[in-house]
């Protein structure tokens, strides 16, 4: 895989793929700007270089955004100075007008310039996504207001910054887009850098609700770098995942040359990867927790975790992809570390991506199951968020959620919910933003 920040011109299986049978959303490059790894800023040249790279690799491209997350790290300081003292942008006036920081307005202004440039010079056969940033509701709202004319010329949007981890901010912007007609027109929404099991469930619910009542052709996608980071940075394999009414989590473990208690005299490294994952899941099921009351299984009363299986995991052993080396920082010669080399790390990535994809598919299938017990075997906080989304996007509330209260039928659900303010008990006319704010604590209980 390639990152937009590298702007590689090499021909790869991505650039040479059959676009009729595959689909790729290109990275915006904003993260590389935030990290300061994109290289020297060369104005339009840098913007168009990013655009051409994305068009070469992807079917949908994104605006080269200047992330608000880079403000706190100091990576935006040089760009803010450039905008004010070199480019002559009056960021102070923008700040006084909208009441937001000069640094935020610098990110907003540069992203607007980049987006406008890319829309002018883009290839029409590629879809274009306008990136939405913001670390708070005022910032998110202002960012959307400024970029709305550009969204009208694009095929969709991408949520980034805090907007891609906060259900509340995302729902507020989706309500805005519904009420101004944008949501009925756009084709695609991408959520940057969020691929948890919980986010897959929530985004699936949002997509289904929007398709049912507003836009039947809308596609929502998301991405995550975690499977690659776990392999390349922490030398870990996706071992198992937990999905029940207590938690949703994916667990990565680092192989060792230890002996598993259930399989004495057999080093972990000799296991086929899938067998190793099953053994790790069993080990977690039998893991004991000790406290003042005694000891008890960590998974007491819960099903055994699901093993993270993959295609290559059927055929390769752990020692086929992990290189055992002496730990230079540990003087004990009996201790080893398991660390992949440049080639075997790709195999670890392949397992992690395959296993993560299978986990996401299985969990979302359960989330949508026709069987009520299966569909509702999720943490109650997540079930409550599902019900809130269904209320907001119920078909009879599509036109701004302004119907009279006596026209609002009660929401019927077959899963447990917490007590939350009902739109029926609210003041008339009912407003979606007020409802979202009423449920702020519940929506913020989980992050994407």
34 band by pLDDT with thresholds 50, 70 and 90: confident
Q: Kindly tell me if the per-residue pLDDT of 405 is higher than 60.
A: no
Assigned domain for 70 exists: yes
- 297 Cβ contact list (under 8 Å, min separation 6): 285, 286, 287, 288, 289
Q: Kindly tell me if the per-residue pLDDT of 38 is higher than 80.
A: no
Assigned domain for 260 exists: no
- 37 Cβ contact list (under 8 Å, min separation 6): 5
Q: What is the pLDDT of residues 329-377, one digit of tens each?
A: 666 555 556 677 778 889 999 999 999 999 999 999 999 999 999 999 9
CA angle 259, 260, 261 (to 5 degrees): 110
Q: Are 402 and 432 in contact (CB under 8 A)?
A: no
Q: What is the pLDDT of residues 103-161, one digit of tens each?
A: 999 999 999 999 999 999 999 999 999 999 999 999 999 999 999 999 999 999 999 98
**Per the structure block, which two tokens stand in for 304?**
């055994």
Average pLDDT, the chain: 86
Specify the pLDDT at position 402.
39
Assigned domain for 418 exists: no
Assigned domain for 253 exists: no
Q: Determine the structural domain holding residue 21 and report its residue range.
A: 4-164
Widest Cα–Cα separation across the chain: 76
**Could you tell me which residue, 16 or 2, shows the higher pLDDT?**
16
Specify the pLDDT at position 262.
47
Quickly list DSSP for 135-152: SSHHHHHHHHHHHHHHHT
Specify the pLDDT at position 261.
43
**Could you tell me which residue, 422 or 315, shows the higher pLDDT?**
315
Element (H, E) at 421: none
Q: What is the pLDDT of residues 48-89, one digit of tens each?
A: 999 999 999 999 999 999 999 889 888 889 999 999 999 999
Assigned domain for 89 exists: yes
Assigned domain for 67 exists: yes
pTM, full prediction:
0.88
Assigned domain for 422 exists: no
Element (H, E) at 54: helix 44-57
263 band by pLDDT with thresholds 50, 70 and 90: very low
The Cα 298–Cα 301 span in angstroms is 9
Assigned domain for 45 exists: yes
2 band by pLDDT with thresholds 50, 70 and 90: very low
Specify the pLDDT at position 159.
96
Rounded to an integer, the average pLDDT of 430-448 is: 83
The shares of helix, strand and coil residues in the chain, as percent rounded to the nearest 5, are: 50, 15, 40
Rounded to an integer, the average pLDDT of 257-269 is: 55
Q: What is the pLDDT of residues 287-324, one digit of tens each?
A: 988 888 888 888 888 999 999 999 999 999 988 887 76
302 — alpha (psi -120 to 50), left (phi > 0) or beta? beta
The Cα 340–Cα 346 span in angstroms is 9
The Cα 178–Cα 176 span in angstroms is 5
What is the residue whose two structure tokens read 């708070």?
136
Rounded to an integer, the average pLDDT of 214-220 is: 97
How many domains, the chain? Answer: 1
């Amino acid at each position: 895989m390639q990152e937009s920040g590298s702007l590689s011109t090499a021909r790869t299986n991505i650039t040479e793929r059959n676009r009729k049978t595959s689909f790729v959303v290109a990275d915006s490059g904003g993260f590389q700007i935030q990290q300061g790894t994109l290289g020297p800023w060369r104005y339009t040249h840098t913007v168009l270089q990013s655009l051409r790279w994305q068009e070469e690799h992807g079917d949908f491209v994104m605006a080269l955004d200047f992330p608000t997350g880079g403000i706190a790290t100091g990576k935006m300081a040089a760009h803010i100075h450039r905008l004010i003292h070199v480019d002559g942008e009056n960021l102070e006036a923008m700040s006084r007008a909208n009441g937001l920081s000069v640094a935020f307005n610098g990110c907003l202004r540069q992203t607007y310039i980049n987006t406008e440039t890319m829309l002018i010079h883009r290839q029409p056969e590629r879809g274009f996504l306008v990136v939405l940033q913001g670390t708070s509701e005022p910032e998110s709202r202002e960012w959307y207001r400024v970029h709305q004319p550009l969204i009208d010329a694009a095929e969709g949007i991408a949520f980034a910054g805090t907007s891609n981890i906060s259900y509340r901010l995302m729902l507020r912007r989706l309500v805005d887009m519904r009420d101004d007609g944008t949501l009925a027109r756009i084709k695609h929404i991408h959520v940057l850098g969020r691929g948890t099991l919980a986010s897959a469930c929530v985004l699936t619910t949002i997509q289904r609700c929007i398709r049912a009542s507003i836009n039947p052709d809308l596609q929502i996608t998301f991405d995550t770098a975690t499977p690659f980071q776990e392999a390349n940075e922490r030398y870990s394999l996706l071992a198992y995942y937990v999905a029940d009414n207590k938690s949703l989590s994916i667990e990565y473990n680092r192989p060792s040359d230890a002996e598993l208690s259930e399989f004495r005299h057999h080093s972990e490294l000799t296991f086929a990867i899938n067998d190793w994952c099953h053994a790790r899941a069993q080990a977690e099921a039998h893991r004991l927790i000790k406290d003042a009351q005694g000891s008890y299984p960590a998974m007491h009363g819960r099903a055994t975790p699901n093993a993270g299986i993959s295609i290559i995991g059927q055929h390769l052993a752990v020692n086929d992809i992990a290189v055992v080396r002496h730990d230079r920082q540990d003087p004990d010669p009996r201790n080893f570390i398991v660390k992949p080399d440049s080639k075997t790390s790709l195999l670890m990535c392949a397992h992690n991506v395959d296993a993560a994809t299978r986990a996401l598919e299985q969990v979302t299938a359960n989330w949508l199951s026709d069987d009520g017990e299966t569909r509702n075997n999720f943490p109650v906080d997540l079930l409550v968020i599902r019900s809130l989304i269904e209320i907001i996007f119920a078909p009879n509330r599509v036109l701004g959620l302004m119907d009279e209260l006596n026209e609002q039928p009660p929401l019927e659900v077959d899963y447990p919910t917490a007590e939350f303010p009902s739109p029926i008990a609210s003041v008339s006319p009912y407003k979606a933003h007020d409802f979202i704010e009423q449920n702020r604590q519940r929506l913020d209980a989980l992050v994407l």
